[in-house]
Every structure is written in structure tokens, then in C-alpha cells.
Amino acid sequence: MPTVAQHFARLHPTSSQRLSGAAPEQASPVVLMVSGGADSTALLVMACTSKLDLRDGRGLARIARERIHVLHINHHLRGVASDEDERFVRDLCAHFGVPVCVEHASFSDLGGQNLEAAAREARYAAARRYVRELCAQTNTPRTSARIVTAHTASDRTETFFMNAIKGSGPAGLSSIPRRRNIIVRPLIDMTHGELCRYLEVAGMTWREDETNKDTSYLRNFVRHRVVPLASERNANLERTIGATCDILGEEDAFMSQLAARSLRACVRREQEGLIVIDADRLASAEIAIARRMIRLAYRFVAPEERLEMRHVEAVLSCVAAGAGSLSLPGSVDARMEFGTLALRTAAARESIVAGWVPVPGTMPLASQAVLETGVVEVPHGADPVAFARELSEASDALQAGRTVCVDAAALGYAERDLTRLLETSPALPAEVLNARLWVDAPAPGDIMCPLGMHGRSKKVSDILGAAHVPVAERASVPVVRTSPGGAIVWVGGIRLDERFKCTAASKLLIKLVIRAIAETGARMDG
């Protein structure tokens, strides 16, 4: 997102700005994406004979010929005409003495995409590969390279109307940006008509794609039906919409920055395929920011998928209600529980142990195991510490270390609430009392205060190493916490935290047991 100085630098570059960044740019590759149509042909001619603004701080400047490389993608969608386009581009590059790389694309499996989107994705993927190869050859950083496309003000106007017709937010209505990372569009302020006239004056020919006349495609419908009609009311339509797109794009970038900052403050847990968000903070965010936060969180777990507005609204409805779950595109599960919103991919649901376990209640774990939680009252007159030890040892007659008793008060649970739970019904929903624990896998940087170390802290990774847990198996070790990202209560089957141990003052205990699923089934049958 540019500052005022950066925004107007392209219009009024100072001498220092023109010089800044020149040194690292001298050998970095500039890849022109040339199809053979009027716009991309004009791009090549201008790059070789005139000046272009590559948005590298130098403003309008000539590009050293040795930096210029052309990429042409033969999509093979128009038979002989596609091959003729390829020959035209090869001849054009030979005329100007610049190297050309031709890649061939196949679209036998679109994977649910429309053809236009699949072709666009193939072009940019090829361009990124080519840039990587060229940067490796020239030993230059990719950040200083440029992928240059021939998008014009006309393309921008068409995309604006297309997205408006389909329904879009500010990101879609901002249309085609001037720059995205190393992709730049120096012709974005010129119209298609102006470029055609430029080529005619220069005595250059170009290729025409006959499919551009087929109005069954949305872009062609907008180009031949919508834009001419709108131009009757505004002869300067393309530049007017271009200015609107700039404003929308800059404001969208600012809003996205705010949303990203807000999301970082709300995240309680994140790992591959999983993100857990503080739902109360999300619910208190302005709706415009909250919608973007959901999209950013979803992109974290499913970067290749896209959310529609109805999905975003459905998730936020669950957040507002404080409960509910739904399935999102890409088999992502969105679930509201105990004041948190968790987004999980299908792979994460299978491989990652992460979620709330109610007290009392059960939760499936990895390795065919289950975590059971329960509430136990210390008998009147009994020694709480000795009682907890006996309870654990009795449960662990077969497998030591698989049961612990935790002081309920240390977890912050009110005695009257848990007593009510014991006196009424063991089936009373834990949500009523907000009694729950978070269970997930060890995370980098996890620290706890192991029982017996008198309050001194230790890395969980060191504890697992001392327990001889193989590195490959550590992700399956359940870690019980007070909340996502909260204090560690128990590294399942290995070590209890000193802060949650039973004391002489303990009256109610939370019993945590890890059982094999087969053992649980046998116990239930008995």
C-alpha cells in the first residue's frame, strides 16, 4: 500500500528516485508476456524502442536489451490459429533480437475452473518458473526481476464490469492492479484503441483472436455490449473507471492491512491446516473488518480455495450466536465452541489432535486412543494429595502415567459449579458451566513448569526428549491446556504441570485419563 510520496512518485519522480534501485536492476530479467495480440505486440515494441515504467523507482526508463526476455504460451485452443500466433511471436522476437521462450499448455482437466481462469493460471505459473530460471542464470534476486503484462485501461474496465455483474467486494471491483509483487502492468493507463493506433503508425501488424467476438463469454459480452453502451454516457469511461479502480485498490489494501493486524491479535492457535480465533474479539470487530478476518483465516488453512460472501456471512452468524458449525469449500470445517472459532482442513482433522474436551467428557486422540475427563470430589476427612495419588495409581494398574488428577480450583473452576454438576446429572452439558480444556499437539516454543521442579520452567521438547519420545511420534502426544495457546496442564502420559497439582486444600479434582479405544470399548461392554 503506497504512501503519498510513493503514489505520486510515478507522476513526479525526483532525480534521487530515478537513481535509487538502479544498481540491482541492471542485470535482473524482464519477462514480457506476449500473445501476439495488439496490446502485447505494442508492449514488446515499446520495451525495445521506447521507455516503460516498471515500478522500480526509476519512472519511465529504457530497458537494457539484454534484460528483455519474451514468454509466449501456446494454449492450443484454436488449432492452426494458435500455432500461427506462436510463429508470429517468434518472428517478432527475431526482428527485435530478443530471446523467446514458448511453453505449451493443456487443459484436459480443468479441476472445476472455467477455461479463462485455467489459462490465466497456466500463464502466470509459466512466467514464475521462467523468472526463477533466468534469475538463477544471472545470479540476480527474484525481487528485482519483473513479469510484464500488457493489460490496458480497456482490460481494467472490462474486469470491473465483469466483477460487478458477478457480484464482488472492493477487491474485485478494484479490478487489475498496476503492480502485484514482481508483476507490473506499464500500459494500464492506455486504451486498446490507443495501442492499435500506435502500432499502425509504427507500421507493425498483430494477430486477431476470432474468439474475441463470441459474446457467450462474459468478457466479450462486456466488451461488445456493456462498455459501448456505458461510453455513450461517458466518452472518457476507461480512464474514469481506471481512477476508480486505483482508489478502490488502495483503500482495499489499507482495509486488508487493518484486518491482518486485528486477526493477529485474535489468533489463539495456528498450525498447518488449523487456526483457532478468539470469538469474543472477532464478534466485537466492525463487520467490514470481521469479514476480511474470516477470509484471511480461511486463506491460512486453505490458500488454494476461495470463499463466497454467503460462506463468510454464515461463519460470522455462528460467531454472533456463540455456537454452530458448517462446512466450507475445500472440506474446511468451521466450528464455534467455548468462545473460540476453529477452522480445520480435512487433513488436519485426521492428523492433528486439536479441540475442546468438555469436563466431564471424552475426546478422540491419535494412535487409537481417547481422552476422558471427569469430576471427582475429595471425600470428607481424606488427604487430598494421597487420595489423588491412589486414584491415579488405581486407574494406572496396567499402564502407569496415563491418569492424573488436577486441582479444579487451580484451573479456575468455581467449586459451587462443579458441585452442582456432581449433584444434578453427569450428563449436564459442560457448556452450561463453561468447564472445558483445550487439547492439541506440542508446539514450537512450548514451556511448562514440570511437577517436582518447584516452579522452574522447561521446554516441552526437552521433556519429550528426556522421556525418549521419538521425534516422529511427538506430534501425536496430546497436550492439555487451559485454552488455545494457554498454560499447559498436562503433557499426556508424560508430565503434569506444577501449577495444577493437587494440594492439601483441594476439594474437587479433575481426573484426566488416556485410554486405548479397545480398552474403552471393553470397559463399556463390561
Q: What is the DSSP letter of 235?
A: T
CA atoms of 178 and 126, how far apart (whole Å): 20
The answer to whether residues 359 and 430 touch, using CB atoms and an 8 Å cutoff, is yes
SS3 271: strand
DSSP state of 364: E
440 known ligand binder:
no
How, if at all, do strands 183-184 and 146-148 pair? parallel
Q: Is 325 annotated as a binding residue?
A: no
Sign of CA dihedral 306, 310, 311, 315: positive
C-alpha 447/C-alpha 517 separation (Å) is: 29
Distance CA 310, CA 350 (A): 27
- Contact, 407 vs 499, CB < 8 A? no
For the stretch 158-193, what's the b/e string if a residue is b when 16 or more beta carbons lie within 10 angstroms of its beta carbon? Answer: bbbbbbeeeebbbbbbbbbbbbeebbbbbbbbbbbe
Distance in angstroms (rounded) separating the CA atoms of residues 253 and 143 = 20
| Cα–Cα distance, 405 to 256 (Å, whole number) | 46
Q: Which amino acid, 116?
A: E
- 487 contacts: CB under 8 Å, gap ≥ 6: 448, 481, 497, 499
Q: Give how far Cα 264 sits from Cα of 74, 83, 202, 447, Å.
A: 43, 50, 53, 21
Closest CA to 442 of 476, 466, 470, 472: 476
* 36 is known to lie in a ligand binding site: yes
Q: Which residues 6+ apart lie within 8 Å of 160 measured at CB?
A: 173, 175, 241, 244, 245
Per DSSP bridges, beta strands 355-358 and 60-61 are unpaired
The closest of 58, 75, 243 to 146, measured between CA atoms, is 58
Contact 134, 18 (CB under 8 A): no
Helix 153-166 and helix 192-202: axis angle, to 10°?
150
Q: Is the dihedral of CA 253, 257, 258, 263 positive or negative?
A: positive
37 annotated ligand binder: yes
For residue 353 the three cell numbers come to: 489432535
* Three cell numbers written together for 409: 480450583
CB contact at 8 A, 376 and 509: yes
Instruction: Indicate the annotated binding residues for ATP.
Output: 35-40
Q: Indicate the annotated binding residues.
A: 35-40
